[in-house]
Amino acid sequence: MFTRRQILLSAAGSMLPLYAQTRARVETPLKIRSVEPFLMRIGRRRDIVCCRIRTEDGLHGWGEGTTPPNVQPVLAQIRSLAPLIIGQPAWDIEKHWRKMYITEENSLGGTLFAAISAIDIALWDLVGKAAGVPVYKLLGGRIHDKIRIYASYRWGAIPRTREAYFNRTRELMADGATAGKWDPFGEYPGPDRQLPTQVLNEVREMVRGVREAGPAFDICVEAHGKFNMAAAGRIIKMLEPFDPFFLEEPVPPENVDAMAALQRSTNIPIATGEGLQSHFNFRETLNKQSARILQPDAARTGGITAMKKIAAMADAAYVTLAPHNPNGPVCTAASLHVAASIPNFLIMEEGNREVGQYNSIFAGGWQARSDYWLVPEAPGLGADFTPEFVKEYEVRG
């Protein structure tokens, strides 16, 4: 008959090998040896800015800072930031983020935050690999088992009619899609930001076709910040009978008061945030309640570190997150890990549809579903580039 003390001691003894292994992992110095920017061409859509961080322990992590068309400035900015963290332990992610931000705050802008994003994501990937766990476990664990996605710009070159959009939506639903986004307004308007009545009527019929094809299909309408207040007001009134899931940036996002006035005028959730950098720049949007859905981009806003803070700020305001993700596989992986770990995740953009190479990038292959994705379970991000892949897809010169 064993005593309680003997049982506890025996259990503790059996855990010692695991404890020792875990302690050895987290006590690895992870001293940063190099920070290297790469321009990768993955798919035909656009060039993707990536960053590889290597440590003296032989580990590496990949990040992404894609913000087209500014690829060359981002590459240069990554090189500029590299000396700030080379020689430092990769564990200190928050410290590195703050140092990069404060040191370069006189040149704040999209290029800087794309570079910070690439470095930050690479650090999280590296630390996850060192700890032997997927990144979402370092972020507090998984809340969502599946990450819902919406089909992005998959309507194709079809006639701008109710029938055409009815048929195409049925095809998307047959493929498994439960939500979809597109910009039905066509080319950018003139300097007056007006919307011709003919275009408004065409869009009404297109949206009608989508709704009739899928009564439960979530319609996401993109406006790309193209219109003035008068045109945006007409768009909102036209859309309301069709109950869209959200309307993205009906006016330019820099005037928070204007967008707040539109949000107060309708129950359609307005979405914004793809162009906002860091949690600092989301504060006014939340304070003025100008949107009910935030769309931070992991490759533009400051990486995983900033995304988690934005999510927490939004959660306190009862606002949800729908990560913007028209980028490459590393940004997709980072967004998946953040989405899995936050309570106010809503839906995510499916991103680059040309995913032929993704099977060789994601551990365990890539599930090309149209309704949801699963979070990678491999250590780190679960997305990695082999030397052979880099050699084949890197853009040089």
Q: Report how far residue 102's alpha carbon sits from residue 98's, in angstroms, rounded to the nearest whole number.
A: 6
What tokens were used for 347? 């839906």
60 among known catalytic residues: no
- How is residue 93 annotated by DSSP? H
> Pairing between strand 348-349 and 146-152?
parallel
Q: Write down how long the chain is.
A: 397
Q: Transcribe 151-205 into DSSP letters.
A: EES-S-S--SSHHHHHHHHHHHHHTT-SEEEE-TT-S---TT----HHHHHHHHH
324 among known catalytic residues: yes
Sequence-distant (≥ 6) Cβ neighbours of residue 347 within 8 angstroms: 148, 149, 150, 179, 218, 245, 322
CB neighbours of residue 83 within 10 Å: 10
| E strand map for the chain | 32-40, 48-55, 60-64, 146-152, 179-182, 218-222, 246-248, 270-272, 293-294, 320-321, 348-349, 372-374
Rounded alpha-carbon distances, angstroms, from residue 245 to 177, 211, 303:
14, 11, 26
Q: Nearest to residue 340, comparing CAs of 301, 369, 382?
A: 382
Sequence-distant (≥ 6) Cβ neighbours of residue 201 within 8 angstroms: none
Report the C-alpha dihedral over residues 317, 318, 322, 324, rounded to 10 degrees: 0
**Whole-angstrom Cα Rg for the chain:** 23
Catalytic: which of 60, 224, 279, 337? 224
Percentages (nearest 5) of helix, strand, coil residues in the chain: 45, 15, 40
Contact between 242 and 219 (Cβ < 8 Å): yes
* φ and ψ of 150, to 5 deg: -120, 145
In b/e form, how buried is each residue of 249-265, taking b as 16+ CB within 10 angstroms?
A: bbbbbeebebbbbbbee
Catalytic: which of 60, 96, 324, 337? 324
* Catalytic residue numbers, as ranges: 224, 324
